[in-house]
Structure 1
Amino acid sequence: MTSPPSNFSADSAKEQQQCIVNDQMGPFTVLYILIFISSLPGNMLSVWAFIRSPRAKQGLSVYLVNLLAADLMLTLALPFKILKDLGVAPWGLMVFHCQASAVTMYISLYASISFIDFIIIHCYLQDCTSQRLLPLQDFGFARLLSVVIWLLLLLIMVPNMALPIQQVQVQQFLSCSALKKGISMHWHALSIFLCTALFLNASVATLISTILSLKRLLGKCNVPGHAMKMQRGIAALAVAYMISFVPYHVVRTPYTLAQTKVITDCQTKRQLFLAKESTFLLATLHLCFDPLIYFYFYSPFRQTVSKVLWCCKSQTINDLEEPTTTAQKEVLV
């Protein structure tokens, strides 16, 4: 009487252990490769432009430079994820991704979220308080706030690198959560919830700044051209912020419950994993568009890039005109 339930329980446990959720990563890998190839030149150009740009003692410049640093971290961590998802990485590199580069990706993601939020608030304050210098706009305060953000994220995420992991059998499709046990898994879940809380606070601040900005724009008939341009930029950046990061955080909490075995159904786990990967892919798209933020909101950066583009255009025009001029001289001779 008791043997069938016992066999059923054993089979069920075995099936649960063999639940593979990351065996359909081919399309995601292709898209991640495209994001990496597309974002790397823009970020390298941004680094060069910031180095060549005049040093501006503004809070905005601090937030933009830190956003660029976060973008570079995420961009450089992408190849490790790509190799793991392709299934061509050696076992040691797969474990390294789970322990180090994947954590780096989350640190850079939430740093980007924080600094984009600061940029939106700074631009709103700069437009509505032309004379007063509020703390968020102050250069020194911006540097201090940036250090606090990085330290907070490191405090939350670095234990995921340092806490011990369990030994698992070498396998083609490694799920990073399979390496965690006990306190490692508990801290992983706690870090996800803390970062989600950070995102919610940042989103509230972004939403309030955007609403006040639009209210100010719509409430005045005669708005200067530069002010209207700034308000539109704030609104566009806020919309991009919501599209990029909100879907991921809607899926992140239930997926974490699946990682911590609160949700045990294999099919549900697979669906949550695919949803998480799809929304995380959407979140990484900001790597391709952040150089537009630097160009639009930071005039020294814009002037440097414009000079380079103008010089390249002038050189191209001269190269095209030179053969014609030479031919004309030969005819005259």
Structure 2
Amino acid sequence: RCLASIYLINLLVADLLLLLALPFKITKDLGVAPWNLMVFHCQASAVTIYISLYASIAFLAFIITDRYLQECHTVRSLRLQEVGFARLLSLVVWLLLLLIMVPNMALPIKQVKEQTYLSCSSLKKDISLHWHTLTVFLCMALFLNASAATLISSTLAVKKLLRSRSDPKLWANARRVAASVAAVALAYVFSFVPYHVVRTPYTLAQTKLITDCETKKRLFLGKESTLLLSVLHLCFDPLIFFYLNAPFRHTIRKLFPCLGNHAIRDAKEEAAEEMMQPATSAQQEAAC
């Protein structure tokens, strides 16, 4: 749980970054932004959106993997569940994303005549466009690795569920873990997979490897609509916080007393989970 809290806090930071950057994109897309604000969006807030997006992808994958590892009490899995490892992994994710993304803010741009609509790629010089393309493929690699971790953890959780059918106690615990892993995995797939299916061909259109005008328009519309799905993970994340973070859940129940009927049941489930944790888990929670 301590590790889940670390990943959830980082996921919350990513969501806050997205909330700060979204108004600039919405204003630009509605066509009501002044020219300087459109340029600012292309240089800064658009990059912030993608930093938030890929941070969310990474930390959701960590949450899914950690949720499965809680039930896999091998020496290797316990090492992966150390608090120091989780903090180091979180720091590496942020530093890696900043290293990849920040040059898109800093590299020089062209002077473009003011117009009603601004395509961000039209501002980029050749070196900026090449770095942007590299950024897209590096982020695609991050997404594929996170997706592999999500798929493996989900598959192993389901296999564990099927193997424990003969033991009622193990069945109840495995079913709870499999349900939480599956729920987060479905939110992950719904939010991020469609966008990445469209992202690579759209980038090829930006770099002029795809030149057909009609194809470029369709790819742009596909990219924008699937990006909206990705942004909708903001709606799923509070449900993840509610399910996986006990302090957040208790705060919500204080604000909404009608949810208090489930408090006793959740307390029993949490106590049962704690009893099934190995000694090292208690040490980890103490370290928090």
Tell whether the structures are fold-level matches, with TM greater than 0.5: yes
Alpha-carbon distance change, 68 to 182 in structure 1, aligned in 2, over 3 angstroms: same
Q: What does 1:87-126 correspond to in 2, within 5 Å?
A: 87-126=31-70
Q: Which consecutive residues of structure 2, in runs of 5 or more, have no partner in the other structure? A: 261-288
Aligned residue type for 1:255: Y
1:59–1:136 CA contact under 8 A, matched in 2: no
Q: CA RMSD in A?
A: 1.9
Supply the AA of the counterpart residue of 1:297. Answer: L
Superposed structure 1 runs of 4+ greater than 3 Å apart:
130-133
The answer to whether the 8 A contact 2:157-2:174 is kept is: no
Aligned to 2:279: none
Q: Could you tell me which residue of structure 2 aligns to residue 67 of structure 1?
A: 11
Task: Provide the residue aligned with 1:200 in structure 2.
Answer: 144
TM-score, normalized by length of structure 2? 0.85
1:1-333 equivalences in 2 (<5 Å)? 58-129=2-73, 134-221=78-165, 222=167, 223-310=170-257
- Mapped contact 2:11–2:55 kept (Cα < 8 A): yes
Task: Please state how far the C-alpha of 1:251 moved relative to its aligned partner.
Answer: 0.5
Asked which structure has the greater CA Rg, the reply is 1
CA apart distance, 1:263: 0.6
Per-residue deviation, 1:224: 4.3
Change (3 A) 1:254 1:266: same
For 2:80 and 2:96, the matched residues in 1 are separated by 18
Confirm or deny: 8 A CA contact 1:103 1:158 kept in the other structure: yes
Answer yes or no: is the 8 Å Cα contact 1:67–1:115 preserved in 2. yes
How many Å separate the matches in 1 of 2:253 and 2:85? 30
Deviation at 1:311, TM superposition (A): 8.8
Quick one: which amino acid aligns to residue 176 of structure 2?
K
Unpaired runs of 5+ residues, structure 1, are 1-55, 314-333
Please tell me whether the aligned partners of residues 18 and 53 of structure 2 are also in contact (alpha carbons under 8 angstroms): yes
In the alignment, the residues of structure 2 paired with residue 130 and residue 306 of structure 1 have an alpha-carbon distance, to the nearest angstrom, of 35
> By how many angstroms is 1:133 displaced?
6.2
Post-superposition offset of 1:300 = 2.5
| 1:106-145 per-position Cα deviation (integer Å, ceiling 9, x unaligned) | 0000000000000000000002329986233221111111
Q: Secondary structure at the match of 1:261?
A: coil
CA contact under 8 A between 1:59 and 1:140: conserved in structure 2? Answer: no
Partners in 1 of 2:253 and 2:172 — Cα distance?
21
Cα separation, 1, equivalents of 2:182 and 2:237: 15
Q: Quote the Cα distance in structure 2 between the aligned partners of 1:120 and 1:163.
A: 36
The amino acid that maps onto 1:107 is I
Tell me the amino acid that sits aligned with residue 295 of structure 1: F
* Greater RCO (CA < 8 Å, at least 6 residues apart): 1
Asked if 2 retains the 8 angstrom alpha-carbon contact of 1:60 and 1:137, the reply is no
Paired residue total: 258
Indicate conservation of the 8 Å contact 2:47/2:104, yes or no.
yes
- Partner-residue secondary structure (3-state), 1:230: helix
Contact 2:164–2:174 at 8 Å: present in 1 too?
Answer: no
Letter in 2 for 1:293: I
Tell me which amino acid in the other structure corresponds to 1:186.
H
| 1:165-185 deviations in Å (ceiling 9; x for gaps) | 001110111000000011000
